[in-house]
Chain A
Amino acid sequence: MSAAGRLKERFARLAAEGRGGLVAFVTAGDPDRATSLAIVRGLAASGADVIELGMPFSDPMADGPAIQASSSRALAAGATMAATFAIVREFRAGDSSTPVVLMGYANPLYAFGLDAFVAEARDAGVDGLIVVDLPPEEADALVHAARTAGVEVIFLIAPTTGEDRMARVLENAGGFVYCVSITGITGTKKARTDEVAQAVARVRRHTGLPVAVGFGITTPAQAAAVAGVADAAVVGSAIVERIAAHLDAQGRARDDLVPAVLGFVGELAAAVRAPAPPPAGTAAVRKRSALR
């Protein structure tokens, strides 16, 4: 299936199921290549609808402490861009339908060479690219290269993105729109559901693309609430924190790491699949929680 096809197909299926999806983020190569591959393979089976794979970078300026640490662990274990592609390729060999989106920073892409990068990405089975420090003003070269290769470029809309900028940001947007729910770095502030709903509605006025919300979602309940108002909820820091919590004293993966991470992803996935809860604090919520 073509790259554009997998993301489109997945969001169409989510729409048909009448629910928002779960985009699960991990950093490629964290804490080591073999464990990372096992996690990535398990994500889809645990119910992640889209896999967002971080390309490790030495200076992840938009990320909070959890993802910074995750990037450092991967690099310390020898992660490279080639190894990231290898993980996608090996994952893709066993899963032809779950979309994979790469997230990272501009410098490693430029160092690889944009044309070579998008060609490698497509061949490995990557569906979309999020490059945090490439705003539309600097993204023309990547958009052109990606389009030629048939890989989507996903753009971010932030709370600071004014109405006057929306068209500019969405001009070359593909795949889905990544709606940043907070002003801040990843995993540091809590997103409020009412604000998320407003932000999503604002984006929808400007585009027909699916809208995924990320940056402040840490619990299954939050993921469910966000998935109730958006096309997908992105969870990253909370997942990689599970990786950090299951390392031994030398920083190596313990045997219970992969099950712990996937167990948490399973909880997130179950939450986004549950029917939207009625307003918080009602008896119905407590009853339903008790049944689960």
Chain B
Amino acid sequence: MEKPNTYRAGPDEKGHFGQFGGRYVAETLMPLVLELERAYAEASADPAFAREKDHYLTHYAGRPSPLYPAERLTRHLGGPKIFFKREDLNHTGAHKINNCIGQALLARRMGKRRIIAETGAGQHGVATATVCALFDIPCTIYMGAIDIERQAPNVIRMKMLGAEVRPVREGSATLKDAMNEALRDWVANVDTTFYLIGSVAGPHPYPAMVRDFQMCIGLEVRDQMLAAESRLPDVLVACVGGGSNAIGLFHPFLDDACVRMVGVEAAGRGLDTPEHAATLSRGRPGVLHGSRSYLLHDADGQILEAHSVSAGLDYPGVGPEHSWLRDAGRVEYVAVTDDEALEAFHLCTRLEGIIPALETAHALAETRKLAAALAPGDLVVVSLSGRGDKDLDNVSRLTAAAEDA
């Protein structure tokens, strides 16, 4: 692939990032997707929309989130200087709220009276239920039955916030199937309903819109790092399920050739087993949930079940812009296993007093590996995308099982 003048121009007017992206939806949804695209373009051009969004990001979500120099982890790794971009400190405990505030304001502007969403780890579901409570919009959250089990605290939070949580038992009963059901709901309720997608996935304009709403992460890091170190970071690290926290961090730096970027997928029980969610490492291009992207599917095009200890990464697809950045060679994509993520979870908790989400622990695990090859003084920013309260039961059980073994 020829090197483009900029990596930040996509998507084109049809929603394509090179061969990826697009609008692969049933005709019933196509007019809605086009309407959303128009409404979002109008909102983006309206300073009043930006003011309103910034008001809630600042005073409700708590932005900007700190860029924290992780002193003990830095000493422990003995190489580069590690910074955490503290998205875990946002209201609701993850980066998801950034996007939910943007989309809920857009839904309100469009006059939609009901919001639906899919959720894996429950972080997006909680963020959606939160903004729906704030803006007084009824909401329905689709969640895989398996995820409901392993992320129980978030299910309770969503219900307390007034959301209806609908369990999805079809297929692998995880995030992919929750998204199928949300799309079916949307088709059946086109007049009233706004589908609030939680990642940079789905048909155009979602991948671009969600990225824009998450870009505050990278824009803040840029300013914060310049203020702290008077230069840009050397390496950015973020976990990638659908990839919204990663694209939010990476995007403002894509044209800075000196900044290396690493997206970390879930290798589950290992890349050479069938049980992983490493779409960009092991998948091939295909079409799912409205866009063309790397995908885990068999030779006949049937979607494979992904596996990760982390519900938020347990998805056989990935945002189309990541697929494009992978093929363009601009971002490196690697994968770490469940065990490596669990180790990093404990390391971060003990060294820094920060309990990270299991999704985030994947980025931390890769940071450990990268540190060995980096020089002292190199600046590494890890997206601390979410806090781990939701994972405590799961981690205690897995840790006990590992100790027994």
Chain A residues within an 8 Å CB radius of B190 = 160, 183
Chain A residues within an 8 Å CB radius of B295 = 107
Per the bound structure, the CA–CA distance linking A180 and B26 in Å amounts to 11
List A residues 60-97 near B (Cβ within 8 Å): 61-62, 64, 68, 75, 80-81
| Nearest Cβ on chain A to B277's Cβ, whole angstroms | 16
Contact between B184 and A108 (Cβ–Cβ < 8 Å)? Answer: no
Chain B residues within an 8 Å CB radius of A185 = 184, 187-188
Per the bound structure, the CA–CA distance linking A232 and B297 in Å amounts to 36
List A residues 88-114 near B (Cβ within 8 Å): 105-112
The 8 A CB mask of B243-262 against A (1 = contact, 0 = none) is: 00000000000000000000
Residue picked from A64, A106, A161, most chain B C-beta under 10 Å: A106
User: From A185, which residue of chain B is reached at the shortest CB distance?
Assistant: B184
Per the bound structure, the CA–CA distance linking A82 and B58 in Å amounts to 56
Contact between A111 and B184 (Cβ–Cβ < 8 Å)? Answer: no
Per the bound structure, the CA–CA distance linking A21 and B398 in Å amounts to 59
Contact between B28 and A59 (Cβ–Cβ < 8 Å)? Answer: no
The 8 A CB mask of B295-321 against A (1 = contact, 0 = none) is: 101011111000000000000000000
Contact between B27 and A109 (Cβ–Cβ < 8 Å)? Answer: no
Chain A residues within an 8 Å CB radius of B378 = none
Q: In this assembly, does B32 line the interface, its C-beta being within 8 Å of a C-beta of chain A?
A: yes
| Nearest Cβ on chain B to A209's Cβ, whole angstroms | 15
Residue picked from A62, A64, A80, A138, most chain B C-beta under 10 Å: A138
Contact between A162 and B31 (Cβ–Cβ < 8 Å)? Answer: yes
Q: In this assembly, does A213 line the interface, its C-beta being within 8 Å of a C-beta of chain B?
A: no
Contact between A75 and B27 (Cβ–Cβ < 8 Å)? Answer: no
Residue in A108, A137, A157, A162 whose beta carbon sits within 8 Å of that of B14 in the complex = A137
Chain B residues within an 8 Å CB radius of A189 = 188
Contact between A157 and B180 (Cβ–Cβ < 8 Å)? Answer: no
The 8 A CB mask of B280-302 against A (1 = contact, 0 = none) is: 00000111111000010101111
Q: In this assembly, does B80 line the interface, its C-beta being within 8 Å of a C-beta of chain A?
A: no
User: From A165, which residue of chain B is reached at the shortest CB distance?
Assistant: B31
Contact between B27 and A180 (Cβ–Cβ < 8 Å)? Answer: yes
Contact between A156 and B26 (Cβ–Cβ < 8 Å)? Answer: yes
Per the bound structure, the CA–CA distance linking A80 and B298 in Å amounts to 11
Q: In this assembly, does B375 line the interface, its C-beta being within 8 Å of a C-beta of chain A?
A: no
Per the bound structure, the CA–CA distance linking A138 and B29 in Å amounts to 14
Residue in A81, A108, A132, A165 whose beta carbon sits within 8 Å of that of B26 in the complex = A132
Per the bound structure, the CA–CA distance linking A183 and B27 in Å amounts to 10
| Nearest Cβ on chain B to A62's Cβ, whole angstroms | 4
Segment of B17-25, B154-162, B207-215 in the binding face: B17-25
Per the bound structure, the CA–CA distance linking A111 and B302 in Å amounts to 9
Per the bound structure, the CA–CA distance linking A133 and B176 in Å amounts to 16
Contact between B27 and A156 (Cβ–Cβ < 8 Å)? Answer: yes
User: From B34, which residue of chain A is reached at the shortest CB distance?
Assistant: A165
* A133 and B25 in contact, given A58-B302, A110-B287, A112-B301 (Cβ under 8 angstroms): yes
| Nearest Cβ on chain A to B110's Cβ, whole angstroms | 15
Contact between A108 and B28 (Cβ–Cβ < 8 Å)? Answer: no
Q: Count the A residues whose beta carbon is within 8 Å of the partner chain — how many?
A: 41
The 8 A CB mask of A18-33 against B (1 = contact, 0 = none) is: 0000000000000000
Contact between A158 and B301 (Cβ–Cβ < 8 Å)? Answer: no
Q: In this assembly, does B171 line the interface, its C-beta being within 8 Å of a C-beta of chain A?
A: yes
Q: How many A-B residue pairs have CB under 8 A?
A: 114
User: From A108, which residue of chain B is reached at the shortest CB distance?
Assistant: B301
* A106 and B287 in contact, given A58-B303, A62-B187, A185-B184 (Cβ under 8 angstroms): yes
User: From A81, which residue of chain B is reached at the shortest CB distance?
Assistant: B300
Contact between B170 and A135 (Cβ–Cβ < 8 Å)? Answer: no
Per the bound structure, the CA–CA distance linking A189 and B301 in Å amounts to 30
List A residues 135-155 near B (Cβ within 8 Å): 135, 137-138, 155
Residue in A57, A158, A180 whose beta carbon sits within 8 Å of that of B302 in the complex = A57
User: From B33, which residue of chain A is reached at the shortest CB distance?
Assistant: A135
Chain A residues within an 8 Å CB radius of B171 = 58-59
Chain B residues within an 8 Å CB radius of A57 = 301-302
| Nearest Cβ on chain A to B145's Cβ, whole angstroms | 15
Contact between B28 and A61 (Cβ–Cβ < 8 Å)? Answer: no
Residue picked from B28, B188, B286, most chain A C-beta under 10 Å: B28
Residue picked from B189, B191, B287, most chain A C-beta under 10 Å: B287
Chain B residues within an 8 Å CB radius of A61 = 26, 180, 183-184, 289
Per the bound structure, the CA–CA distance linking A88 and B73 in Å amounts to 62
Q: In this assembly, does B30 line the interface, its C-beta being within 8 Å of a C-beta of chain A?
A: yes
| Nearest Cβ on chain A to B26's Cβ, whole angstroms | 4
Chain B residues within an 8 Å CB radius of A169 = 27
Q: In this assembly, does A188 line the interface, its C-beta being within 8 Å of a C-beta of chain B?
A: yes
Chain B residues within an 8 Å CB radius of A80 = 300
Chain B residues within an 8 Å CB radius of A161 = 27, 30-31
Contact between B187 and A134 (Cβ–Cβ < 8 Å)? Answer: no
Q: In this assembly, does A184 line the interface, its C-beta being within 8 Å of a C-beta of chain B?
A: yes
Q: In this assembly, does A259 line the interface, its C-beta being within 8 Å of a C-beta of chain B?
A: no
| Nearest Cβ on chain B to A107's Cβ, whole angstroms | 4
Chain B residues within an 8 Å CB radius of A81 = 300-301
| Nearest Cβ on chain B to A232's Cβ, whole angstroms | 18
Residue in B25, B177, B287, B300 whose beta carbon sits within 8 Å of that of A135 in the complex = B25
Q: In this assembly, does A159 line the interface, its C-beta being within 8 Å of a C-beta of chain B?
A: yes
Per the bound structure, the CA–CA distance linking A157 and B286 in Å amounts to 25
* A184 and B180 in contact, given A59-B171, A133-B24, A135-B23 (Cβ under 8 angstroms): no
User: From A156, which residue of chain B is reached at the shortest CB distance?
Assistant: B27
A-B contacts, 8 listed (Cβ < 8 Å):
A59-B177, A59-B303, A105-B287, A106-B287, A158-B27, A180-B28, A183-B190, A185-B188
Q: Contacts A110-B285, A133-B26, A161-B30 known; list 13 others, CB within 8 Å.
A: A57-B302, A59-B176, A75-B302, A81-B300, A107-B297, A108-B302, A110-B287, A110-B301, A137-B14, A158-B31, A184-B188, A185-B187, A189-B188
What residues of chain B have their CB less than 8 Å away from a CB belonging to chain A? 14, 22-32, 170-171, 176-177, 180, 183-184, 187-191, 285-290, 295, 297, 299-303
In the complex, the 5 A-B pairs of residues with the closest C-beta atoms, listed nearest first: A111-B301, A108-B301, A158-B28, A184-B188, A156-B27
What residues of chain A have their CB less than 8 Å away from a CB belonging to chain B? 56-59, 61-62, 64, 68, 75, 80-81, 105-112, 132-135, 137-138, 155-162, 165, 169, 180, 183-185, 188-189
